[in-house]
């Protein structure tokens, strides 16, 4: 059965490419993925696999019960796009202005639908149950994962696996980590309220741009001087908006950014340090401020046994030339919510296009489409090994 499954994925490659390119042309933003969800539901209708639609929003969850008793294994893929204009010069570029699949979610969806099709062909030989979770809104907090978990979908699930097609990693390489794998991802907004005025009379003002610039600079001291150098964290300023024209001193300034951590204690320390620095800087400049900090997705923390199983499984896939343990990534993912609920592991499947590498969330982002085959085959072998160990 297992050799048949691996071979079937190879046979489905052209179909996978067509499906992925169709989805790539018609992306939808987080929480607005109505047509994509309907497309996924239609595929399960064609396959004759029972499914639930509109789970916790736009999610689609399909369930395939095997002919033999066994454990219940969930596999998750996301399907939302990003508010980015597609700048690739390819026939399958996005046809939706200002929206594109710039993170590989079209490939994730294709991989999971193809897995479902392959397993449907061997349903009577299959032991246990497979749950295919197609998740909406991974890109935009609060995200879709937590709301899906809150419905109780995972109540009868024994283990959960997921993969991300990863263009930072070369094709043919599979990567994961035994514990912390991806960081918790938070966001913050700082509003400085000074006193605007004429650019020729700065002494009559409280310059919000100058004060905001001091805040930005002072915040960098948190990582360099206020936390243990052996701790891991990121504090990034993403935007700074202020001013209206060249000869007016700005009345206010708005700063936004992100903090990434693995340790909740460190996360809380950074929040406290930020508050003190912002307050002190504004106080010394006689300005007011607002500081809004939103805790986002928790860190993705794999379960060691399941992570080891993924690497062992990947090493048996013919197209995988390296299955390796790596240091954690500071990027975030709401797959974390599944791992807080059940044992499991998340892993990267190398999807870097040789000679055409663009990072995730880039306007020219694209994947090596062969990576979808390796992702599907690695998941097949992971399911096989999981069943054999029981």
Cis peptide before 142 (omega within 30 of 0): yes
> Of 273, 297, 321, at which residue does a domain stop?
297
What CATH number does residue 239 fall under? 3.30.70.360
**Under a CB-based contact definition with an 8 Å cutoff, are residues 175 and 324 in contact?**
yes
What CATH number does residue 28 fall under? 3.40.630.10
Q: Are strands 322-325 and 173-176 parallel, antiparallel or unpaired?
A: parallel
Per-residue pLDDT of the chain (390 residues; tens, 9 = 90+): 989 999 999 999 999 999 999 999 999 999 999 999 999 999 999 999 999 999 999 999 999 999 999 999 999 999 999 999 999 999 999 999 999 999 999 999 999 999 999 999 999 999 999 999 999 999 998 899 999 999 999 999 999 999 999 999 999 999 999 999 999 999 999 999 999 999 999 999 999 999 999 999 999 999 999 999 999 999 999 999 999 999 999 999 999 999 999 999 999 999 999 999 999 999 999 999 999 999 999 999 999 999 999 999 999 999 999 999 999 999 999 999 999 999 999 999 999 998 878 999 999 999 999 999 999 999 999 999 999 875
Based on the fold, state whether residues 191 and 136 are members of the same structural domain: no
Q: Which domain holds residue 281?
A: 184-297
Based on the fold, state whether residues 128 and 38 are members of the same structural domain: yes
Catalytic residue positions? 80, 138
Beta-carbon contacts of residue 42 (< 8 Å; ≥ 6 apart): none
For the chain, the domain total comes to 2
Based on the fold, state whether residues 254 and 176 are members of the same structural domain: no
Q: Give the CA distances from residue 143 to residues 146, 219, 386, in Å, rounded to whole numbers and listed in that order.
A: 7, 28, 29
């Amino acid at each position: 059965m297992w050799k048949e499954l691996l071979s079937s994925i190879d046979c489905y490659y052209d179909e996978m490419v067509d499906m992925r390119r169709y989805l790539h042309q018609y992306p939808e933003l987080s929480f607005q993925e109505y047509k994509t969800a309907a497309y996924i539901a239609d595929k399960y209708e064609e396959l004759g696999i029972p499914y639930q639609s509109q789970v916790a929003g736009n999610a689609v969850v399909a369930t395939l019960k095997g002919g033999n008793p066994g454990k219940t294994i969930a596999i998750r893929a996301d399907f939302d796009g990003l508010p980015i204009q597609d700048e690739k010069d390819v026939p399958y570029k996005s046809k939706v202005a200002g929206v594109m699949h710039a993170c590989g979610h079209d490939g994730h969806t294709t991989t999971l639908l193809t897995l479902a099709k392959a397993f449907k062909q061997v349903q009577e030989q299959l032991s246990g149950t497979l749950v295919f979770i197609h998740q909406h809104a991974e890109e935009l907090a609060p995200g879709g994962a937590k709301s899906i978990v809150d419905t109780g979908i995972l109540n009868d699930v024994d283990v959960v696996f997921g993969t991300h097609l990863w263009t930072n990693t070369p094709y043919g390489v599979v990567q994961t980590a035994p514990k912390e794998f991806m960081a918790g991802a938070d966001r913050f907004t700082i509003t400085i309220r000074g006193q605007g005025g004429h650019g020729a009379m700065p002494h009559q003002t409280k310059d919000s741009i100058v004060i905001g610039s001091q805040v930005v600079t002072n915040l960098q001291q948190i990582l360099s001087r206020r936390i243990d150098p052996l701790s891991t964290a990121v504090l990034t300023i993403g935007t700074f908006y202020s001013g209206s024209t060249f000869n007016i001193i700005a009345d206010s300034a708005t700063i936004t950014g992100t903090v990434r951590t693995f340790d909740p204690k460190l996360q809380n320390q950074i929040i406290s340090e930020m508050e003190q620095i912002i307050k002190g800087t504004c106080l010394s400049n006689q300005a007011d401020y607002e500081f809004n900090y939103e805790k986002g997705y928790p860190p993705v923390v794999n379960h060691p046994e399941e992570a080891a199983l993924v690497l062992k499984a990947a090493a048996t896939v013919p197209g995988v030339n390296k299955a390796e343990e790596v240091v954690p990534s500071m990027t975030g993912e709401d797959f974390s919510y599944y791992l807080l609920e059940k044992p499991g592991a998340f892993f990267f499947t190398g999807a870097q296009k040789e000679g055409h590498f663009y990072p995730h969330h880039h306007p020219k982002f694209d994947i090596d489409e062969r990576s979808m085959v390796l992702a599907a085959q690695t998941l097949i072998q992971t399911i096989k090994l999981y069943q054999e160990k029981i």
